[in-house]
Amino acid sequence: MRYGSRQALSGLTLAVEAGGYVGVLGSNGSGKTTLFKILAGLINAHGGAAEVCGKPLGVETRRLTAYLPSQPSLPRRARLGGCIADYALFYPDFSPDAARALLKDLRLSEDLRVNQLS
């Protein structure tokens, strides 16, 4: 993966056995977050290959992974209804009806923007 002239993840080979755990350590800018974003299908690598559970990255592997960033990843000005629509396109098993029911239970409008939430 490249960010302008900066290269991240050069020469990385990683395999984790089923049920295994791995810690990923590295200096700032070494590619830790980039690795997890690639595996979650949020960004595309510029080279190499990646698989999750022996499957090439794609719609099916998005069902097998989750990514929780340390910083919010939704655009602060995005409206909740638009976020629901985007998630429905990106994650085939995402339920817009369940998301809307949750908003209703929390008395939140789809017109609210992300930056209006605590």
- Which amino acid does the sequence have at 47? G
Q: For the chain, 118 residues long, give each residue's pLDDT as a single digit of tens.
A: 777 888 778 888 888 888 877 888 888 878 888 898 888 888 888 888 888 888 998 888 888 887 777 777 788 899 999 999 998 988 888 899 999 999 999 999 999 999 998 8
Model confidence, pTM = 0.62
Q: According to the model, what pLDDT value does residue 95 have?
A: 94
Q: According to the model, what pLDDT value does residue 104 have?
A: 95
What are 35's two structure tokens? 């690795």
DSSP per-residue codes, 40-79? TTSS--SSS--EETTEESSHHHHTT-----SS--S-TT-B
Task: For residue range 25-59, list pLDDT tens digits in order.
Answer: 888 878 888 898 888 888 888 888 888 888 998 88
CA 28 – CA 99 distance, rounded (Å): 35
